[in-house]
Amino acid sequence: MLGTIDFNLAFLSSLVSIVIIDLILAGDNAVVIAMAVRSLPKPQRMKGIIFGSAAAVILRVVLTFVASQLLLINFIKLLGGAVILWIAVKLFVEGAPDESVKREAASLSQAIRIIVIADITMAVDNMLAVAGASHGNLFLLLFGLGLSIPFVVFTSNLLSFLMDKYPIIIYIGAAILGKVGGEMMITDPFVTGWLNPSKWTVYFTEAFFAFAVIAVGKLLVKRMMRAATEASPGVQE
């Protein structure tokens, strides 16, 4: 029922391919998880990472069977990219290294919700890659999707720790999410059919949204600072 578990060359080759795919593609998901849990109190961060990753992977298992069809539908990746850009700006504003802006700590449920939405939105390529490498073997498919949990948990936990020590990583993380969102939008079937973008157009779009996320986030942070200053005029004495 789970597929053939036969340690022959083809099975082992698929197994190794899936491990490599998970290692390569876990980075983007780890970035959004690390940024989402950074606003949580430190004792709750690991819970947010584990629960968010587990919930996202369970949904991945379900969605993997329809992912190949989703990619063929116009506007799916376009909307998904827009969601990722919104999440990137939101997480940047919440975690930007600006001590003059007071922000409320996020709740565990809020962090998990952001993790799940972002992971499922970005995970289509990962799901298709693992599904292709499994060659229809259900055991390999579930193994590949399950293996992404420890990879993402370890990487995101490390990133959230490093973000506390080196806030510049927050800017890098936001730029990565902006790049992912831009790539999803420019490669949507409707957009590619309309514009037929070249590789350089795709690269330019990714770079544009990587910078745009940070620029918009900085503008929103400055607006928050100005609003806080106007609300507390006595601070300027």
For the chain, residues with pLDDT lower than 50 are: 1, 99, 235-237
For the segment 121-161, what is each residue's pLDDT rounded down to a tens digit?
776 666 666 666 666 677 777 777 777 777 777 788 888 88
- Please tell me the distance from the alpha carbon of residue 221 to that of residue 80, in angstroms, as a whole number: 24
- Give a yes or no: residue 4 inside a domain: no
Domain membership of residue 77 as a residue range: 9-227
pLDDT at 201: 94
pLDDT at 235: 47
- Please tell me the distance from the alpha carbon of residue 11 to that of residue 197, in angstroms, as a whole number: 38
- Give a yes or no: residue 103 inside a domain: yes
- Only one residue has tokens 């593609």, namely 25
- Give a yes or no: residue 223 inside a domain: yes
Greatest alpha-carbon pair distance for the chain in Å reads 76
pLDDT at 1: 45
- Give a yes or no: residue 237 inside a domain: no
- Give a yes or no: residue 233 inside a domain: no
pLDDT at 165: 82
Q: 142 exposed, middle or buried (CB, 10 Å; 0-12, 13-18, 19+)?
A: middle
- Give a yes or no: residue 54 inside a domain: yes
Other CB atoms within a 10 A radius of the CB of residue 179 amount to: 22
**The one-letter amino acid at 41:** P
SS (H, E, C) the chain: CCCCCCCCHHHHHHHHHHHHHHHHHHHHHHHHHHHHHCCCCHHHHHHHHHHHHHHHHHHHHHHHHHHHHHCCCCCHHHHHHHHHHHHHHHHHHHHCCCCCCCCCCCCHHHHHHHHHHHHHHHCHHHHHHHHHHHCCCHHHHHHHHHHHHHHHHHHHHHHHHHHHHCCHHHHHHHHHHHHHHHHHHHCCHHHHHHHCCCHHHHHHHHHHHHHHHHHHHHHHHHHHHHHHHHHCHHHHC
The number of distinct structural domains making up the chain is 1
pLDDT at 206: 92
- Give a yes or no: residue 236 inside a domain: no
- Give a yes or no: residue 189 inside a domain: yes
